[in-house]
Structure 1
Amino acid sequence: MNNRNFTFIDLFAGAGGLSEGFVADGGFIPVAHVEMNPYAAMTLKTRTCYYYLKENNRLDEYRSYQRGEITRDELFARMPNGMLDTVINKEISDTTTNEIFGSIDEILENANIQNVDIIIGGPPCQAYSLIGRAKDPDNMRNDPRNFLYRQYVRFLNRYRPRMFIFENVPGILTANNGETFQSIIREFNDAGYTVDHRILDAADFGVLQHRKRVIIIGWQADLQIVYPEFEITEVQATVNDILQDLIRLEIATENNVYVSEPTNYLRASGIRADDDILTHHVCRFHNPRDIEIYRRVITAWNENHRRLRYTDLPEELCTHKNRNAFLDRYKVVAGDIQCSHTMVAHISKDGHYFIHPDVTQCRSLSVREAARIQSFPDNYFFEGPRAAKFVQIGNAVPPLMAKGLARGIRDILENI
């Protein structure tokens, strides 16, 4: 075992949930993150600052930014020249890929990095998701996002990593009657990689959320490798363990106050440390009708473990004409069981599907609470307006899941 650091490129990086697991694992160094969304790209730059300042015992400067004592520009100005250029804010497409290659090549040359060990990432999932296909009259067959995997293959051909991870929603297996998935596997094979896949649940990696993802892992065809057996993490906790130390919110204002010490789960998972600063604990405004619906939905779950359907509500509270579909549009995050339902980016539109379990608050989750359900640590700072933060969180791979993946990949790389 060589115990050296391994290099990786993160494609379709989002806010960095997958990358966070690889960096936090301690065995991987990011060469570049490629992300088209400007808010997510800014979040990646801020996270790059965090790790640089932490490594150089200057976290007080990062905390000054969290407190609003210095501006983002002042924070970024404290980074070495070129460090933040590793975040490439560009769409990956036929017209941009060569330019992105040039940026990555320059990074590799300046850092004197000879090889990229692994490429990670997954293209946007909307074209593969069951919900997206149900909404589209053509079943998303002609959505150009169906073919972004071909851009991923271009990066494999360019940098020839020994391994790669390609993640997406389970719907990718059945998109276009399975033809899309077969095309993906075929093109990975044609690029010189042996591949295998599993459907993995974030809950098996210590995340207090059921979130299933298809994890395709590939390796150069001449390597004697099999799909890793990832270690199952068992926790004794409920969702309330990631909510109870946060101050009650009654209005749509941010409140950066912890009201108690971290729970055992928060400490063990690394989500909260004793010296953390609470940020993003802010929720949206709710009108009186929604508050009354929330009260009924929360009470039904907390008293009887019963999920109210939309048609169970009194007629005066029902304003939607559609009474045949999406009847679970109001859903409480169950605090007294081990796993929440899956966090999705739709929380940026409204909070009805992610209602806080405390009936005395009758509100949807705050940004920080959503981030915790996704297992982001409290020191993770998301850039952009509130809706953009929710999108970044909802689209992310949970960092604890990513950390488990990284450990399994590192064990293989250290032995080949």
Structure 2
Amino acid sequence: MAQINGNSTLKVVSLFCGCGGMDLGIQGNFKYLENHYEALPFEIVYAADNDAYAAKIYNDNFSHKCEVKDVRDIVPSEVPDHDILLGGFPCQSFSIIAQNPPRLGYKDDRGKLFFEMVKVLKEKQPRFFIGENVKGLLSANKGQAFPMIIKEFEKAGYYIHFKLLNASEFGIPQKRERVFIVGFRDFDDYFNFKFPQPYTLTKNKIALRHVIDKEADKDEKWFFSQRAVEGMLRVREKMNKGRVQDIDQPCNTISSHLAKVSLNGTDPVLMVNERYRRFSPREASNIQSFPRSFKLDSVSENRQYRAIGNAVPPVLMWKVANSLTNSCLIP
């Protein structure tokens, strides 16, 4: 591995780490489908999340451990020194207060959480940070919220690149679109960085069929009842429900809602022998590009769905972190 400023690794702090999608991706050294994603020059020195069930999954899969803690209770000065800060911060509830100039307002406390990243950045001044969020952040509040969030990161002392990435264009069987925000303390790093380029043409995208678990087809608990099917069929044409996935294409975006998936919702479902069925937690994990060796079973299936649905796809994170390594770290 190339030496980086005399050291072999850069230290990482991970906030809102969940079950570890970003963390697995930035560390690398895992296999997904037929590809091995090599180890990257990053070492996680601190991870925190307020969801004890997601943290349980995390701690079953990493040698370092996630601390169960509300990020608002973290004292920035007590965070270990680090080179890169990660955070898939919650994005709900942004609003704009009608002032001149307008300011960010919040319908509830969840919308404030990106400020916790900003506080750590101001205090610790790591060389980089990577944030991740849903596509809707770009258009929230008629497009006014996102520029204000970027401005807060800039005020913390960072140059910013951001880009909307579609997981299906990076070897993942899911049409998941997410915004990645990459911050740089030094202008040279900012100037040199390039986001990974999509390499999967439409005809070559990974199909859902490659991650379907045929064993799940044999388990009755994953199938919807006849009553649920009849209820959906009565309103399908009018409400565009019953969204059966084409297994020869990437899957629609999965979410934490898979724990309560309904045929009367917009959740992706499968059709097996003329019967509707939901994805199993392992299939959801496969769709998200977690390796098959990733352990899930220490929490309930509902908690597995929630943790996996909220995660950043590890392969997509690996692509971003690898681009950072190649453009800014390796001479």
TM-score over 0.5 (shorter chain):
yes
Pair 177,292 (structure 1): closer, same or farther in 2 beyond 3 Å: closer
SS of residue in 2 equivalent to 1:41: helix
The equivalent residue for 2:33 is none
The equivalent position to 1:5 in structure 2, one of 9, 16, 19, is: 9
Number of aligned pairs? 300
Pair 414,194 (structure 1): closer, same or farther in 2 beyond 3 Å: same
The equivalent residue for 2:116 is 151
The equivalent residue for 1:396 is 311
**Offset at residue 384 of structure 1 (A):** 1.9
Structure 1 gaps, min length 5: 53-82, 106-114, 130-139, 253-282, 297-308, 313-322
Aligned partner letter, 1:335 = I
The equivalent residue for 1:188 is 153
| Higher mean C-alpha displacement, 160-169 vs 18-27 | 18-27
For residues 25-64 of structure 1, give each alpha carbon's deviation from its aligned partner in whole angstroms, at most 9, with x where no partner exists.
412111111100000111111111xxx4xxxxxxxxxxxx
The percentage of aligned residue pairs carrying the same residue is 27
Q: Where do residues 88-237 of structure 1 align in structure 2 (5 Å cutoff)? A: 88-93=67-72, 96-98=73-75, 102=78, 104-105=79-80, 115-127=81-93, 141-226=106-191, 227-234=193-200, 235=204, 237=206
Alpha-carbon RMSD across the aligned residues, in angstroms, is 2.5
Q: Does 1:342 align with 2:258?
A: no
The equivalent position to 2:228 in structure 1, one of 268, 290, 296, is: 290
Pair 237,145 (structure 1): closer, same or farther in 2 beyond 3 Å: closer
Partner Cα separation in structure 2 for residue 362 and residue 197 of structure 1 = 39
For residues 245-301 of structure 1, give each alpha carbon's deviation from its aligned partner in whole angstroms, at most 9, with x where no partner exists.
54523322xxxxxxxxxxxxxxxxxxxxxxxxxxxxxx3x6332225578x7xxxxx
**Alpha carbons 2:16, 2:88 under 8 Å: kept:** yes
**Alpha carbons 1:23, 1:29 under 8 Å: kept:** yes
Looking at CA atoms only, which structure, 1 or 2, has the larger radius of gyration?
1
The equivalent residue for 1:26 is 39
**Alpha carbons 2:171, 2:206 under 8 Å: kept:** no
The equivalent residue for 2:101 is none
**Alpha carbons 2:161, 2:190 under 8 Å: kept:** no
SS of residue in 2 equivalent to 1:9: strand
Q: Where do residues 246-325 of structure 1 align in structure 2 (5 Å cutoff)? A: 246-252=215-221, 283=222, 286-291=224-229, 310-312=235-237
**Offset at residue 101 of structure 1 (A):** 5.1
**Offset at residue 244 of structure 1 (A):** 5.5
Partner Cα separation in structure 1 for residue 25 and residue 113 of structure 2 = 23
SS of residue in 2 equivalent to 1:356: strand
| Higher mean C-alpha displacement, 179-188 vs 203-212 | 179-188
For residues 203-257 of structure 1, give each alpha carbon's deviation from its aligned partner in whole angstroms, at most 9, with x where no partner exists.
12111111111111110144342341304343554211211554523322xxxxx
Pair 158,329 (structure 1): closer, same or farther in 2 beyond 3 Å: farther
Partner Cα separation in structure 2 for residue 373 and residue 222 of structure 1 = 36
Pair 2,231 (structure 1): closer, same or farther in 2 beyond 3 Å: farther
**Offset at residue 408 of structure 1 (A):** 0.7
**Offset at residue 329 of structure 1 (A):** 3.6
The equivalent position to 1:332 in structure 2, one of 238, 244, 259, is: 244
**Offset at residue 11 of structure 1 (A):** 1.0
**Offset at residue 387 of structure 1 (A):** 1.0
| Higher mean C-alpha displacement, 120-129 vs 13-22 | 120-129
Q: Which has the higher strand share?
A: 2
**Alpha carbons 2:168, 2:206 under 8 Å: kept:** no
The equivalent residue for 2:52 is 38
The equivalent residue for 1:362 is 276
**Offset at residue 334 of structure 1 (A):** 1.7
The equivalent residue for 2:291 is 377
